[in-house]
A and B are shown apart, each in its own frame.
Chain A
Amino acid sequence: MGAEVVIEGLTKSFGKQAIWRDVTLTLPPGEVSVMLGPSGTGKSVFLKSMIGLLKPDRGKCVVNGVDIVQCSEHKLYETRKLFGVLFQDGALFGSMNLYDNVAFPLREHTKKSETEIRKIVLEKLEMTGLKGAETKLPGEISGGMRKRAGLARALVLDPEIILCDEPDSGLDPVRTAYLSQLLIDLNAQIDATILIVTHNINVARTVPDNIGMLFRKELVMFGPREVLLTSDEPVVEQFLNGRRIGPIGMSEEKDSAQMAMEQEMADAGHHDGSTEDVRGVVPQLQPTPGLPERQGVRRRKDRVMKILHTLPPAAQEGIIESLTPEEQRRYGVQPHAYAGAQHATRPVASGSTPSRHSGELPTENIAQLPDSGWNGPAPRPQPGTGGPRHQSPRPGQGGA
């Protein structure tokens, strides 16, 4: 299982210019997270601070019980072996060919024989679609290939934590999709904790389990993907839809006068740059059929259901809808619990009932038999009157 990364109150500034303040978040082990943010909000700086390349002014970054910010140099190098980092431009060693680049960590850190190394290196190169390019120098290949080679090198030591700095920049949409799939497959195979820094909305919507966003020198939010994808926060909304109306300007922030002017223009019919509203929860990317199930997904489900009542209603809705009917029963929740009043008091089938529907439809959209008592247990009385937004799991049942 991947390692957990706990970041507390991390603050970084260059001279007098603050980059971000008091960033606190936890990368849950084995889950895929995405850090969004407009250009220049210090996303790359954040990554570099996480691995101790830059020294934050304050705060902690704890990996496996080691605080990266404060620990000794020796511990730092040891802890870094857990990381696989993909840099923006691949950061390959210019004087070595691709094979030697990918073999470098193995030669430095392991006592493997050259035949073993060869096997691993060729496997990773094939995984990233670089078979046959082993003898090329980094200067002789395209940016996309360099990026993939950088990923291959980050993977040879089977890292517990993978950090990707804009894996999509400079890649075409198809290769980006392949790369996203590759990351998800990797996560399914080695259960590594993954953090992707990007501003590609498509990646952000389909790949991660958790999404965070940096803006105005702060972490705007970090949480389950549904929270950000359904958020009403103006910054998030603007960013996801890629339009000019909103708090993000060409230089990072804009003033209210500019905002008002743009709003006026948009109201007058001027195009605001966006196409359609892409908010809302979309199905997540799944591992390629044949690979093991992602362990992180199951852990995340339990984790998210535990904190469900603390999340905003829209996010709750999205999460509940993404569950299969059996899971909804297992956790004792139902979709549209507060949207349709007639369902609010409907009894929830307990886990003992075998699933009759395997379709994607939410349970109440499926034709139901008249109240024939097929679902055994007695109706659960609903406390309160206003129609609770979700039903908290019954003790001893929900967390199973």
Chain B
Amino acid sequence: MTAGASTARFPGIGMLRETGKLFALGLDVGRGIFQRPFQLREFIQQSWFIASVTILPTALVAIPFGAVISLQFGSLARQLGAQSYTGAGSVLATVQQASPLVTALLVAGAGGSAICADIGARTIREEIDAMEVLGVSAVQRLIVPRVLACMLVALLLNGMVSVIGVLGGYFFNVVLQDGTPGAYLASFSALAQLPDLWVGEIKALIFGFIAAVVASYRGLHPPPGPKGVGDAVNQSVVITFLLLFVVNFVITLIYLQIVPTKLG
């Protein structure tokens, strides 16, 4: 009997239970990815939808982000007399840290909230129940394509943000801080290395997964009523942001331990 488990009461049990269910959904999705039939149509539609709501805001955020890093690092490097490393520093920061985070924040904020609202509305209108009753797994039919779409879009956006961020950094450094274009470009590979790009893309993938799973989970289990869906969207974005920064911290830590820095 499950009576013992379900009647246990101590502070924080609710949170633990929710976390457990979130992980369970994550596992279900992971399993669902490999189950046939794959919902290609839904996947393409969702990818297109998420891309269309995230591309422009991401690009607009990426330019000032790259610029800020570049300006900050540029002035710091000048004080230390390491001007020739400006480009190297800003590329490293952008590719390894800034761009996956920017990407994830926008995928969570724009794409995740839309997913959560969509699934939440379907849940309270009993569409999810109806689908389950028709013998179609909602996780397989709706959630898996959305999670994969989020991951794909995050991966592609990450590339775009890296490029735009570096270009923005270049522009501000060269035009506003009188940096030398040649030095900026030449120092690209002084600090940064290929694994930095890899880890950036891996992060983007993981962040996309987290954003979509959290959004779907909140959407599948909203508080009752239409207001509940609104609350669920709100919570999903907040929870995703919190998770993202924690996970980012962990991945960065592991990465720095495993991959030696170039200027060791």
Residues of A within 8 A of B (CB): 48, 51, 53, 57, 73, 77-78, 80-81, 83, 85, 87-89, 91-94, 104-105, 108-109, 150, 153, 157
**Could you name 11 residue pairs across A and B whose Cβ atoms are closer than 8 Å?**
A48-B129, A78-B135, A80-B132, A81-B135, A87-B129, A89-B125, A92-B130, A104-B134, A105-B134, A108-B134, A108-B141
Which chain B residues border A105 with CB–CB below 8 Å? 134-136
Residue in A closest to B39 when the chains form the complex, CB atoms: A108
Residue of B121, B126, B136 with most chain A CB atoms under a 10 A cut-off? B126
- Alpha-carbon distance between A85 and B127 when the two chains are bound, in angstroms: 12
B19 on the A face (CB < 8 A): no
B residues 122-143 in Cβ contact with A at 8 Å: 122, 125-127, 129-137, 141
Which chain B residues border A57 with CB–CB below 8 Å? 3
- B127 in complex: contacting residue of A80, A93, A108, CB < 8 Å: A93
- Alpha-carbon distance between A189 and B121 when the two chains are bound, in angstroms: 36
- CB of B134 to closest CB in A, whole Å: 5
- CB of B94 to closest CB in A, whole Å: 38
- CB of A81 to closest CB in B, whole Å: 4
Residue of B3, B121, B127, B137 with most chain A CB atoms under a 10 A cut-off? B127
Which chain B residues border A53 with CB–CB below 8 Å? 129, 132-133
> Which secondary structure characterizes the binding site on chain B?
helix
- Mark interface residues in B97-130 (1 if CB within 8 Å of A CB, else 0): 0000000000000000000000001100111011
Residue in A closest to B133 when the chains form the complex, CB atoms: A85
Residues of B within 8 A of A (CB): 3, 121-122, 125-127, 129-137, 141
Residue in B closest to A77 when the chains form the complex, CB atoms: B135
> Is B135 a contact partner of A85 (Cβ separation < 8 A)?
no
Which chain B residues border A81 with CB–CB below 8 Å? 134-135
- Alpha-carbon distance between A89 and B129 when the two chains are bound, in angstroms: 12
> Is A89 a contact partner of B133 (Cβ separation < 8 A)?
no
> Is A108 a contact partner of B135 (Cβ separation < 8 A)?
yes
* CB contact under 8 A between A85 and B121, given known A78-B135, A108-B135: no
Which chain A residues border B131 with CB–CB below 8 Å? 93
- Alpha-carbon distance between A157 and B131 when the two chains are bound, in angstroms: 14
Which chain A residues border B127 with CB–CB below 8 Å? 91-94
- CB of A13 to closest CB in B, whole Å: 10
- CB of A97 to closest CB in B, whole Å: 14
Which chain B residues border A109 with CB–CB below 8 Å? 134-136
Residue in A closest to B121 when the chains form the complex, CB atoms: A94
- A91 in complex: contacting residue of B3, B129, B135, B136, CB < 8 Å: B129
> Is A91 a contact partner of B132 (Cβ separation < 8 A)?
no
- Alpha-carbon distance between A104 and B41 when the two chains are bound, in angstroms: 14
- Alpha-carbon distance between A131 and B229 when the two chains are bound, in angstroms: 34
- Alpha-carbon distance between A87 and B136 when the two chains are bound, in angstroms: 16
Which chain B residues border A93 with CB–CB below 8 Å? 122, 127, 130-131
* CB contact under 8 A between A83 and B133, given known A89-B125, A91-B127: yes
Which chain B residues border A80 with CB–CB below 8 Å? 132-135
Which chain A residues border B141 with CB–CB below 8 Å? 108
- Alpha-carbon distance between A80 and B135 when the two chains are bound, in angstroms: 5
- Alpha-carbon distance between A94 and B119 when the two chains are bound, in angstroms: 11
- Alpha-carbon distance between A92 and B129 when the two chains are bound, in angstroms: 10
Residue in A closest to B2 when the chains form the complex, CB atoms: A57
Which chain A residues border B122 with CB–CB below 8 Å? 93-94
Residue in B closest to A73 when the chains form the complex, CB atoms: B137
- CB of B142 to closest CB in A, whole Å: 10
- Alpha-carbon distance between A248 and B130 when the two chains are bound, in angstroms: 32
Which chain B residues border A78 with CB–CB below 8 Å? 135
